[in-house]
Amino acid sequence: MVIKKYVSYIIILFLTACASPEITDAGPAPEPAAPLWFCINGDWAVAGGALVEKRNRAVRWDYHELMNYNTVVSVAQVGGFTETGFTAEIIPAGIGKPRFMVSFAVTSPKQHYYYSFYGFRLAGTAEKITRIELIRSARKDETRSFSEKNNYVITRLASTKTDIPWKGPLDCSVTIKGQTVSLTVNGKKLLTGTVAQQLTGKIGFSVRDARLRLDNIHVVNGKDALIEDDFAKNTLYVPTARIRKVTP
Amino acid sequence: MKNTTVALILSLTCALALLPSCNEEDTATELRWNNQQEDTVSEIKWVNYEDSSVDQTWSGSYDENAVTEFKEVDLLNGQGLAVSGGTTYRIVSDGERNFILNEGDSETLTIDGFDGI
């Protein structure tokens, strides 16, 4: 039984290595810097000059939608951004339905309960992105306790079908003009929708059933840079719980 | 009659010899968590780091000094993830995320502090 377990581990390790050799955390650890990104869920790390999520799957928690993905959010809240740009390399895990989401106006009524946000969600098969949606998440019942699960509702505001391959880095940007928000991928505007006025909140990146490498994130308001990160330094903060002792 | 008695004694001896090893395999490995820091923990999962599959879950409202119930785990080499305040916390000990449990033991892991911003 023990041998079977080890054989399973070896097979899983082999398949994982074959599936996505590009995303690793090999190399020297980058110099720490003031945190710009906060890990909500997953196994994120800054490595090789990028922000990477190495796990194929995400543990599902159901407290809010961002916890059902492997997610990072910006430490700072940004108001009045006109563009959020980034390069994303998304490698489907070959299991489930790969999904990637860039969220904005991410807010919480308390601590990290990020019920409220808008997001562009990309989903598809193992080979290509087949659908892009603009969604809005909101808290369902404000009288219920924060620890209660599934107390949020996701509304689809706009969607479109695509056939863009996941393969290769995708140059993405989210632009806002007035109440109109658009997603552009590799220079092509793919989806436009309407959002509320004067949005403020955090920026988030989420992935599930795929690995991810993010680089060159820039959030600007006109010509003013609000967030810029090329991940030359470690700008990721990972919350940890320390174990003091192990007793039999 | 004599042969039958000898066979019976031999069978019983073999059965008794095998009994301890059977018991060893059947003894469950149990795990519980002791929250010794001030933030309330709403959930803890014991996870396989290879594929993020969840082996066991403790749900509740674990305030300071609260101890979860013992639960049986299959995974002997796993990672702990805790939820508090709407985010996950990686459970670590001296920088290590993996914990190896002794098969058949009932172990208590004590959470001593949260590092968050």
pLDDT digits (tens, 9 = 90+) for A124-135: 999 999 999 999
- Give me the mean pLDDT over the B39-54 stretch: 94
Nearest to B86 among A16, A59, A113 (CB): A113
Nearest by CB to residue B82, choosing from A112, A241, A248, is A241
- How far is the first Cα of chain B from the last one, in angstroms, to the nearest whole number? 80
Collect all residues of chain A within an 8 Å Cβ-Cβ radius of residue B54: 59
Can you tell me the distance from the alpha carbon of A99 to that of A85, in angstroms, rounded to the nearest whole number? 18
Tell me which chain A residue has its CA closest to the CA of residue B53: A59
Q: How high is the pLDDT of residue B116?
A: 75
Q: Which of A246, A217, A211, A245 is CA-nearest to residue A231?
A: A217
Cβ contacts of A248 on chain B, cutoff 8 Å: 102, 105-108
In chain A, % of residues over pLDDT 90: 82
- Joined tokens for residue A67: 């916890």
pLDDT tens digits for range A143-185: 999 999 999 999 999 999 999 999 989 999 999 999 999 999 9
pLDDT band at A246 (very low <50, low <70, confident <90, very high): low
Token reading at A153: 């509702």
What would the mean pLDDT of A195-212 be, rounded to a whole number?
96
- CA dist B110 to A235, A238, B32, B55, Å? 29, 20, 9, 19
User: What's the whole-number average pLDDT of chain A?
Assistant: 91
Q: Is B98 on the interface with A (CB under 8 A)?
A: no
Q: Which two tokens stand for residue B11?
A: 């069978």
- Average pLDDT for residues B104-117, to the nearest whole number? 90
How far is the C-alpha of B23 from the C-alpha of A203, rounded, in Å? 54
Cβ atoms A157, A82 nearer than 8 A: no
Q: Return the pLDDT at A17.
A: 44
A9/B43 Cβ within 8 A:
no
Domains in chain B, start-ordered, CATH in brackets? 29-111 (2.60.40.1120)
CATH architecture under which domain A23-237 falls:
Sandwich (2.60)
- B79 closest CA partner among B70, B69, B89: B89
User: pLDDT by residue (tens digit) across A97-133?
Assistant: 999 999 999 999 999 999 999 999 999 999 999 999 9
ipTM of this complex? 0.86
Give yes or no for residue A89 having a pLDDT over 80. yes
Which B residues 1-60 touch A at CB under 8 Å?
36-37, 40, 42-43, 45, 47, 50-54
Band of residue B8 on the pLDDT scale cut at 50, 70, 90: low
How many A/B residue pairs have CB atoms within 8 Å? 120
Q: What is the pLDDT of residue B50?
A: 86
Contact B105 A248 (CB under 8 A): yes
- Provide the whole-model pTM: 0.86
Q: pLDDT, tens digit, for every residue of A53-82?
A: 999 999 999 999 999 999 999 999 999 899
Lowest mean pLDDT among A18-27, A144-153, A238-247, B30-39: A18-27
Residue B29 class from Cβ within 10 Å (0-12 exposed, 13-18 middle, 19+ buried)?
A: middle
Q: Is A247 on the interface with B (CB under 8 A)?
A: yes
Distance CA(A131)–CA(B15), nearest Å, equals 62
Number of residues assigned to chain B: 117
Task: Confirm if B113 and A242 have CB atoms less than 8 A apart.
Answer: yes
Q: Are B86 and A112 in contact (CB under 8 A)?
A: yes
Q: What is the pLDDT of residue B94?
A: 86
Mean pLDDT, residues B43-59 taken together = 95
Distance (Å) from the alpha carbon of A159 to chain B's nearest alpha carbon: 28
pLDDT above 50 (res B63)? yes
Closest-CA distance, A114 to chain B, in angstroms, reads 7
Q: Where residue A20 falls among pLDDT bands split at 50, 70, 90?
A: very low
Q: With an 8 Å Cβ cutoff, is A19 touching chain B?
A: no
Residue A14 has pLDDT above 50, yes or no: no
Q: How far apart are CA A184 and CA A82, in angstroms?
A: 13
Q: CB distance B89–A244 less than 8 Å?
A: no
Measured distance CA(A216)–CA(A218) in Å, rounded = 6
Assess whether pLDDT exceeds 70 at residue A31.
yes
Please check whether residue B111 is in contact with residue A243, taking contact to mean a CB–CB distance below 8 angstroms. yes
Rounded Cα distance between A156 and A163, Å, is: 20
**pLDDT reported for residue A217:** 98
> A108 contacts in B (CB within 8 Å)?
86
The candidate with the shortest Cα–Cα distance to B104, out of B23, B17, B32, B33, is B23
